[in-house]
Structure 1
């Protein structure tokens, strides 16, 4: 059974170390130290029963098992699988000896020896050999991978397989080797030449298992003790008494004449010339495990080596055997070896020949002459065949070149014919074009004559038109004069209309609750919109600080050139003229002509500026931030509870929360807010109230559901309020602030993200604010908390513990006067349950209910008819009154 193949070797991945003196290289990924000493002795051959599935059992965990495989995957696969069955969860090595081809197949069925090829041709062929063997070895690796066994492949180039395996054993320090061998029922040792050679030459330390799949396993156990012995000692220990069945009977005997005579009488032969001395040549020696077949050609090739001159019985006995052959059969090399064998054995034959010496010499001479003649004829035939094959190969190449040249000329002819055809078509096209141009030229001449006549007529017409033009210019001058007079009359009409509108505005002042200014007044208040008075600018427009009636005001100039700017102007005027609250910016007036809004001036800017500490402003304390959060919450509750129209701000952010001189928050910028009809007095409004519109506002504060669906509800403001809460705690940008705070809470590192410039935060309060802020920022709006029942219940006691706002403390002067907005306009006493009516003023709930029940439907303050009788609790004012009263009690 062949274990290795004569196919080309695979590419090798690791060069042998320098100094080894070898041109070959071995693919190797692991090495082990092992003695390379050899022993020619044969160890005990054990025979195992073929019962059950065959597997190699590995006892030593330290040694790696190597398996020798050939090019036939189908033939070597059972051997590899036998090893894998007993070698799970470990690593194995796959060995392959590549025999480079000596005859290279060429075209037309010919072959050439490698010596007759050029270096480039030989290099290409060797590369193809390596690629083929690489693919074969990859198939073995796939088999190992399916069995979940790690494997490495090792290759070497050698002409003889046995020598290649021996070198791999020495280089890799192999201690356990598995390879295939031929099988017979009576076999107690391997029979193939390669297996016997490896068994003889392998170092004693290497244990070798010979496997015939499904039948038998023979093992040569390792004998490390032989390494220390000399080669002569090892040679003396050869077990020559070991025998194997061969034909009817055969044994290896010594080379004495007596034994040869005994051999003649018992029909057993052992070539005597190979059994003398201390060395043996494997090529011509009959050894244990070699294929011993019938020597069919011995009378023609080597009769002088084994016959007696007076008897044909020796020749007949020899006819039962055959010499060991190469895989390609009897070749010229074999003929040369037979001649050498004759000279080596001639003297020995003389010693054991009984009679007929002259006849034997004659037969020997005749045989040698025939052999030499056959060798000469074979060599001449070989040269003639090689020459013929070379001539055929050259003719094949010349035919290829001729065919290529013919194809190129054919292709060029086709191209020339196509070019000629295209040229003919182009010429015809040019001729047609020429005829068309000539025709157009004739037409152009006719038109030229006609144009000359027209030019003469045109000159006359131009003269007439010049006269008319002069008359038209005089008319234009007169029309300009009339236009100027009409413009002056229009200006006077506009002035008169403005005066009339102002009169109408003053008559309805109480109903509008704000003043209307002219564009000229706005220009004078801003010093013609000077950049030095500009205090803010954005996509909506610009904000200027101005003075109207000697009062500092903030003037917001919306973009009048866009429809959106006009819509925002009227929306903000509509909302701020309807609602009043201590924490809403106060709208002083408006200028519809310039789309300008006039607010009270708030010197501390926006909450965004104070959190970012713009222009070096001092940071807000944690008490101020807590109070601002409570004020914004109360303002949102007020807006969401407004009747009959719930107000959804829609653009709640720190930039729209302004601070007065005492850091009291004022919510502004209602340009994109929405009014939702809420006929009921539910507090808060039902979740079904919504408005569908295109998403507007700042993205980082925008409700995710609003941005995806366009559905605006009061819970959209809750999301924006949650982001503001987290900003008040950390003073970090709004983008991804939820994740920062959530990670800090999960890791217990909330103190590291709190804004240290606000002072030492009470940890419990800060943690509560962080949790409620994250709840407000839930992606699902249904999971967000309610402002009244959840958020205000948490913020109200925090606001009390943070202290009374400085505006309320400063409102009480040194004589202890009560702030006017604490007083009920009807009862004229401090309110206990303040409520906001439809006119925007705050009353004691009991007093206003008595006013309405007595039959009044007008405002107690403006005497204007109330649009509805719904009352909205003013939580912020009630909290301020309670704080003030608590302070008064503590001071007493």
Structure 2
């Protein structure tokens, strides 16, 4: 035997009730609760004999005696101890609902009943409770032990131990000790006697009473038998009757136990009437008379005894019937008691469940109260914050009101200042005009010293022209500002609001815009004026959207045919060449399809040129595929940067694909001689030869090294050759030159011929010198193109266009 769970316990065996429990908690639950209910004031100790698990057989001798087996045994013992602790905790939780003090005593052994007997003897246990049999064996007639373990413990336990055997919560058998009568003071008081025990005791009392009555009936029957035998013996014994005297004398006869049983003396019976009147008494008559008297007396006694027997039988039957009635009442009471016991247990379980539900409800209510308190604290904090915010809002409203008044005052001052400024500006312009007129008169350089005057507008005029910057009039918004549609002097314009950051003052800004406004080219958006006050530039309005809209099919814009795409490429290249040929050179720096506008005739107009001169460029998006990669290395925009951007636009004109990976795809198609795989089918049937040439130009423009990119003049010549219709190119012979069809911007708007001496007029358009001079000589002061009044009649040579026309002539 081995102990489990600690050292030997020091318990007061006179004040402790030991209860044997099994591995099944439900099986020993009723026994344990019976002990806790009936032994109040006593400490209850749980006694458990654990049967440890045996390890599997060891087949290998070396493993059987080695450290492996020891380790396995330790693991099994640790698992067994954990199971025993969990079992004892279950029983202790069961008793925790009562006020009984508890303890536990556990040992390990293969034989449970021997372990129990050993524990009783080792600890000198005085009071012990265990099960008599399993619950399935229980019945109300059960009076003896059914379990082998219970029988073994009852026979072999020390005599000094008082043992109660129970089944299904009812006391079945009690094994008392020899000194129980002398130790009644130390016996534990039973709070509640078991109803089955009282029933068995009453049955034992009734059975003893019935045995006494049966002995009484047996004695009466023996008396009757004795009387009958005596009568028979009296008739046969004649010799004895002769020796008797003639006169009868009173005698007292006693039969074996008959007289003593009843306690009544038997006297002489009266003589027969026949014998009394007889005259002669012979010895035979005397004997006959005596014999008849004896028989009569015996018959009388027999009758009396039978009467008593019948009375006794009726009495016993009545008592038995009453006993049977009492037995029925007892059985009915037992059944009612059992039913009430079941109802009581159900009510107790129901009460426990209700108490558990009540505890849960209390916990939930407590949790809700805590949450409510938390919410209330948060609400108080929010209310405090709300009060502070309301006070801040009140202060801000007061400040807003104060600032509103100050703003109104400032606006009135601003209006007055603007009026004064406009008056001063008018005076200043008039003074400038007078000075210029005097300079022309003095120096005689009317053409060279004066240029086209750019109009300056006030912020009030810009605000009125854009309908107070109505969001529905906004054309676009980007990194370099927002663009609004406007109406100035009955002419539609586009107002670009530039960002306000930068170190340029109004005069510097106005000077640079004036330089840009002098640039006149058919494929550049004309700058019509400026507003230095709001740092805005006024452009001519181009109503047909941008090239990006054509690529994305926005607003249901139809796809461009391949002829138009080649023409647009030529116009973009011509405008870039004009900007690069200007003195000083102008780099666009932000060329992309959204900056290429199309008018109602799909003529190209490049916008936002020279913006980098008006505002500083803080940084360019690296994810923009149109930006030259060499810029992120050198940090400087060059002429070759515009060539790279132009090459990316050519790729989009060819493929109409997103730019991510399009350069690689076009290179692969050209190398594999499969350019038709990447050409955009929505542009019609592309000529394979022209598509391949245009793809080669685009690839050369997109070289990583800027030095390897082609010159725009050469690119323009090659693209212009591709603009000829297919019918004309198919009729070319090897010795023939193709017909010359100049670009549209090389033609004079008046003569519709290639210009020889291009001049820029005040309306921004370029004309042949002979044509525009003749127009002005005929007294016209309006533009031949817009029919608007021109500010002056000054003419400026367009050197860049003149060089481009000469280069075009040299190609042929």
Q: Does TM, normalized by the shorter one, top 0.5?
A: no
TM-score, normalized by length of structure 1? Answer: 0.37
TM-score, normalized by length of structure 2? Answer: 0.40
Query: Which structure has greater helix proportion?
Result: 2
